């Protein structure tokens, strides 16, 4: 799955979040975001749709987002211990090679506050 496919799949959820970020003025163009996600995960829908709404609102100032998708739930659960994450969703933010923030599972709709 690609970011574009995910944005299409969650178009309604992203649109519901976008009004909050209509007047956002933040430059994250030097940030890379690694989005660990699964479409079967309800927390992923909530947290990742908010991140994608922020990305849309920022336009050319948005971070570069790469998607790591775990669509086979049984495979994810059986290999979870060997992954670099503890739960889904996990959103990892880096500048250069340095990780500076990590959001895991439950930011309760406060994604922007955690990254700005």
**Domain boundaries, given as residue ranges, for the chain:** 3-109
Which two tokens mark 58? 């920022």
| Highest CATH level, class, for 3-109 | alpha beta
CA pair distance 47, 113, nearest whole angstrom: 12
Q: Count helices and strands (H / E) in the chain.
A: 5, 4
User: Per-residue pLDDT averaged across 52-69, rounded?
Assistant: 93
Above 70 in pLDDT, residue 110?
Answer: no
pTM (2 d.p.): 0.79
User: Residue 108: pLDDT band by 50, 70, 90 thresholds?
Assistant: low
User: Residue 113: pLDDT band by 50, 70, 90 thresholds?
Assistant: low
Above 90 in pLDDT, residue 67?
Answer: yes
């Amino acid at each position: 799955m690609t970011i574009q496919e995910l944005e299409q799949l969650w178009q309604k959820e992203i649109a519901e979040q976008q009004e909050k970020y209509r007047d956002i003025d933040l430059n994250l163009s030097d940030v890379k975001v690694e989005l660990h996600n699964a479409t079967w995960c309800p927390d992923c829908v909530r947290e990742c749709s908010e991140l994608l709404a922020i990305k849309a609102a920022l336009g050319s100032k948005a971070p570069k987002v790469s998607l790591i998708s775990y669509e086979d739930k049984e495979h994810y659960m059986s290999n979870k211990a060997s992954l670099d994450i503890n739960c889904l969703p996990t959103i990892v933010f880096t500048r250069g090679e340095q990780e500076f923030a990590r959001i895991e599972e439950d930011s309760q709709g406060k994604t922007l506050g955690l990254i700005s």
